[in-house]
Amino acid sequence: MFDEAAEITGGVKVVRSTRLLVALCLVGLLAIPAFANSGGPPYLNSDNQETAKYGCTCHYSSPGDRAVVMASGIPVMYEPDLSYEFVITVADSVTLAGADGNTKAGFLLTDNGAGTFSWDDSQDIREADGDPNAISHSETGDGVWTISWTAPSSDSETILFSIAGNSVNGDGIPNEYDYWNILTFSINPPGSIAEGDGDATLQTRTIAVGDYETLFVLEESEAEKEKERQKHLSDRVFESGNMFYWTSLTALIVGAVFQREIMERRYGPGPEYLATELAYPQGIRRGLLAVLSFFFAIDWTANGNQHDFIIGCTWFVAAWASYGVYRTVRSAKAEPTVHDVM
């Protein structure tokens, strides 16, 4: 009897141990994706699509603007065999804004095999799992990576890049608290941009995707702040110089007109005689020009939808046309001379 009880007890222990072992195995299998991806995302996501192009769906089903993905040092046009330094940044927009948010991040970058990626050993970067044409983080970090991209040796077509960036909370569990986004951009082939297109088109650029406001709250460097200050100062000096120049020119013209009127009334015969059949058309033309100019000058001044220079010129034309109507009236009222009658 005791032997039978012992057998039953031993059987229960075996069953319980087997169930416990199976449960532990299931938990371990379910946890593998969560811990494996911390060392870099796979080539294909949970939907069996390319992660770099369709995103980290193993973390969450859809992208979100809260994840900011940024690439700087990107040329508009590449030169064969020339290396370019890219800086990849992935961050939580809430953290960038100064609040409490995710502080860890990862990425996956591909150029579809067009060029060659390289990086310093100090960078936590590796060749992407399952894709020799892509690179990814080897360990989740602070979200900033510096890489070198060497352009192909022969002229190629436009090269397309795709970056999948993931901002994570670091708990090792993929869930709705991990935010990812995708940044795509292209680099033009050699010769596609002429030198006459301007230096700006041949310089490198920064490309980003994510929350719009957050993209512009990143702290500027001292050099950028000084550059902005100098630009603001030069613009203010230029505007002040323009204002004094045109104000002085207008004052000279107005002074000359007044001097002419005073001299004519005091010493001269006044404006030349103008026949009525000529005075009416001239007066109507000048009057219409004055009315239209005053209309646009008042409208643009009230709404502010034109440059100050254009508004000032419109006011001047309106005043000059009005003065022309005045001169036409005076000419029509002038006494004809013998020369006018002949």
Q: Look at residue 232 and tell me whether its pLDDT is greater than 70.
A: yes
- Does this model's pTM top 0.75? My answer is no
Give yes or no for a contact between 60 and 34, defined as CB atoms under 8 angstroms apart. no
The average confidence (pLDDT) of the chain is: 80
177, with CB counted inside 10 A (0-12, 13-18, 19+), is middle
DSSP 128-180: -BT-TTEEEESS-BSSEEEEEEEPPSS--SPEEEEEEEEEE-SSS--STT-EE
Comparing 257 with 18, the larger pLDDT belongs to 257
Residue 185's closest CA among 62, 88, 105?
88
Give pLDDT tens digits for 37-59: 556 677 777 667 787 677 765 66
What phi-psi label fits residue 113: left (phi over 0), alpha (psi between -120 and 50 degrees) or beta?
left
Q: Look at residue 237 and tell me whether its pLDDT is greater than 50.
A: yes
pLDDT of residue 295: 93
Proportion of the chain above pLDDT 90, given as a percent: 25
pLDDT of residue 16: 54
Q: Look at residue 144 and tell me whether its pLDDT is greater than 90.
A: yes
Q: Look at residue 60 and tell me whether its pLDDT is greater than 70.
A: no
Give pLDDT tens digits for 260-300: 888 888 887 778 888 888 888 999 999 999 999 999 999 88
Least confident of 85-94, 143-152, 191-200, 207-216: 191-200
pLDDT of residue 97: 77
247 φ/ψ angles, rounded to the nearest 5 degrees: -65, -45
* Residue that is written with structure tokens 């990812």 in the block: 180
Residue 117's closest CA among 98, 140, 134?
134
Structure tokens at 315: 């006011």
Q: What is the chain's percent helix, strand, coil content, to nearest 5?
A: 45, 20, 30
Q: Look at residue 119 and tell me whether its pLDDT is greater than 90.
A: yes
pLDDT of residue 219: 55
